[in-house]
Amino acid sequence: MKKQGCEIEAVGISYKIYRQKRENHFKIFKKNQQEVVDQELKQQQPSSQFQDACPGIRHVLKDVNCKAKPWEILAIVGPSGAGKSSLLEILAGKLTPQSGSIFVNQSPIDKAQFRKISGYVTQTDNLFPLLTVEETLMFSAKLRLRLPEAQLSSRVKSLIQELGLEHVAMARVGDDRVRGISGGERRRVSIGVDVIHDPKVLILDEPTSGLDSTSALQIIDMLKVMAETRGRTIILSIHQPGFRIVKLFSSMLLMADGSVLHHGTVDQLGANLRGMGLQLPLHVNIVEFAIESIETIQQQRKGQLQVQEQGFSAPPQQKTGEEGESRSGKFTLQQLFQQSKVVDEETMNVGIDFPRDFANSRLKETMILTHRFSKNIFRTKELFACRTIQMLISGLVLGSIFHNAKDDLSGAEEKVGLFAFILTFLLSCTTEALPIFLQEREILMKETSCGSYRVSSYAIANGLVYLPFLLILAVLFSTPLYWEVPGIHVGKLLGDGRGSVKRRRVWGREQVEECADNGVLHLGLQVRFLCHS
Ligand SMILES: Nc1ncnc2c1ncn2[C@@H]1O[C@H](COP(=O)(O)OP(=O)(O)OP(=O)(O)O)[C@@H](O)[C@H]1O
């Protein structure tokens, strides 16, 4: 019987970023940046093709090859800045490399479809701080699964149990500002949000960062169980894994400076290091030792590459299988370490059912999002109470300033000033929404990119929740003004058809004044009047 699973293979991935250069603004004709890069790359020697020789270009990933198999955990390790996060983002379909390809079960990846069958847990936790752990997972389940409420609930409960979060299920998630659950528990919630739909591939960027060794071990242990019991493919990056954690990794990708230095099991890494004359000291973690010895490994690699380049002119040597040259035609350290490529035939060519559509209809997802927004709003009562009081006081103060406005021309001018002030005040108030949106933006981008819901549903739900509140604030602001400032009552403002028109000539130009019966100048006409004069 064939195993169900999803094998991910990256072949010849190169990713570079362009640093901003000081531009000569007086130079009108300049070359396209890509053209410059291509020309500079062409000029380079083959042996130094991966050096950061081009000024302004940073090679983040250099011809990276790797393979992650189902039922296994592939750990990406390496020093800070090695390119681990960039590789994970490329594997998750968030970044597009300049060259190279990603294959899913040997077929080229369709990013949009792949995002639906995979989960990507970022380095930072993007969660709503005011929702409880259970609510967070429940909303995620509702948005990503098309199941009856009872089944969703039982699924969330069993996931909470699996994640070891029963004791904090009803506690608020919290963040840097709001006190909530611990950092380790929050990391587990982030993982839970991305595994609730049971993805075939789970990509995690530093799932153990900032955790104590016990919490870190718990998380990796949980991922191991997930891989082994459900045949999931797990790819994660990790900094300085402990001894017991390393044992749980099925294979390891050691990276430094954007290149792969080792891709294989932990035992193979030990053997290769010994083969290079590096003896592992007693009681030292092999990954730590490998990272410490990166310079030596890189030097050996350079030497090997030079030997291979010289070998190009010599008659070709016999190669076994796929060893020696990767699909992209470039060499990796796998070749240096003479590792054989183990291909588990059982995992190949297994069809994947890509979900075609969103889990819910537009109406349903709008309802779910409206519910989530309402919960968040009702839990920020203090903020809303402050805004209500602020609007009420602003209205009262402004009304008292214009309380003595007269019902003549100068009074009308004051009222136009008041009108302009109100507009400016209300427009400046709208900028308060910006920090809230910036906070939620990461969550919105994450959820919409993996196909949880449509952006339009988010916008509608947001409007449904916030617009009534904004209307209430506007009424609270305008009520004291309405009663305090004489002559801006709606009835008086608009007149009732009984107004009269006065014409007079000032400096040879005809000016029009329209007065209601009580002598109040029509505000709208006043604006026109001011424009004319
Ligand atoms: N958008 C970017 N702008 C500038 N530099 C970038 C960008 N993306 C990646 N880099 C650079 O590429 C290199 C690799 O970054 P990456 O985040 O992938 O490393 P990492 O191995 O995940 O590091 P860490 O373990 O510290 O998270 C770093 O030197 C980083 O500064």
DSSP letter string over 316-355?
Answer: PPP--TTTTS-TTS---HHHHTT------GGGTT------
Q: Relative to the CA of 82, which ligand 1 atom is closest? A: 21
Cα dihedral 227, 232, 235, 236 sign: negative
Residue 87 CA: nearest ligand 1 atom is 18
In angstroms, rounded to a whole number, what is the distance separating the alpha carbons of residues 146 and 452?
Answer: 11
Residue nearest to atom 24 of ligand 1 (CA): 80
Q: How far is CA 49 from CA 66, 221, 331, 470, in A?
A: 20, 40, 12, 58
Q: CA 444, CA 461: separation in Å to the nearest integer?
A: 13
CA of 15 to the centre of ligand 1 (A): 11
Count of beta carbons in the 10 Å neighbourhood of residue 298: 15
| Ligand 1 atom 30: residue of nearest CA | 81
- Angle, alpha carbons 173-380-188 (nearest 5°): 10
Could you tell me where the DSSP H helices lie in 340-432?
Answer: 362-378, 381-401, 409-430
Q: Are 98 and 15 in contact (CB under 8 A)?
A: yes
Distance 85 CA to ligand 1 centre (A): 7
Q: How far is the CA of 533 from the centre of ligand 1 (A)?
A: 62
| pLDDT tens-digit map of 79-94 | 888 899 999 999 988 8
Token pair recorded at residue 413: 């001018």
- Pairing of the two strands 259-264 and 57-68: unpaired
Pocket test for ligand 1, best of 14, 15, 17 (most atoms within 8 A of CB): 17
In the reported structure, the alpha carbon of residue 426 is separated from the centroid of ligand 1 by a whole-number distance in angstroms of 42
Cα of 459 vs centre of ligand 1, distance in Å, is: 33
What is the complex's ipTM, to 2 decimals? Answer: 0.94
Among 373, 360, 363, 371, CA closest to 457: 363
| Domains of the chain as residue ranges with CATH | 8-341 (3.40.50.300), 362-488 (no CATH)
Q: Print pLDDT tens along the chain (533 aa).
A: 445 688 999 998 999 887 665 555 555 555 555 555 555 555 544 444 444 556 677 889 998 999 999 999 999 998 888 899 999 999 988 888 989 899 998 888 888 888 888 889 988 888 999 999 999 999 999 998 888 889 899 999 988 988 888 999 999 998 877 788 988 889 889 999 988 888 889 999 998 887 888 888 888 988 898 888 888 899 999 988 888 899 899 999 999 888 898 899 988 888 888 888 888 787 778 888 888 888 888 887 777 777 766 665 444 444 433 333 333 333 333 343 333 333 333 434 445 555 557 888 899 999 999 999 888 888 887 877 888 888 889 888 888 888 777 777 787 888 888 888 888 887 877 777 777 777 788 889 888 888 889 999 999 998 898 888 888 888 888 888 888 777 655 444 444 444 444 444 444 444 444 444 443 344 443 444 444 43
* Structure letter (DSSP) for residue 48: G
Q: Phi then psi for 204, rounded to 5 degrees?
A: -125, 125
Q: Which residue owns the Cα nearest ligand 1 atom 12?
A: 60
Please give the Cα distance from 59 to 86 (Å, whole number): 11
CA of 516 to the centre of ligand 1 (A): 69
Nearest ligand 1 atom, CA 123: 27
Give the ligand 1 atom nearest the CA of 19: 4
Residues with CB under 6 A from ligand 1: 17, 58, 60, 78, 80-86, 239
User: Quick count: other Cβ atoms within 10 Å of Cβ 76?
Assistant: 28
Q: Which of 15, 57, 61, 85 for mutating ligand 1's site (highest number of atoms within 8 Å of CB)?
A: 85
Residue 41 Cα, ligand 1 centroid: separation in angstroms? 21
Question: Residue 86 Cα, ligand 1 centroid: separation in angstroms?
Answer: 7
Spatial distance between the Cα atoms of 97 and 50, rounded to a whole number of angstroms: 15
Name beta bridge partners: 501: 514
Question: What predicted TM-score, i.e. pTM, was given to this entire model?
Answer: 0.70
Helix, strand, coil tally for the chain in percent (to 5)? 50, 15, 35
Phi and psi angles of residue 258, each rounded to the nearest 5 degrees, phi first = 80, 0
Q: Which of 336, 253, 334, 258 has its CA nearest to residue 62?
A: 258
DSSP 106: T
Question: Is 67 in contact with 339 (CB distance < 8 Å)?
Answer: no
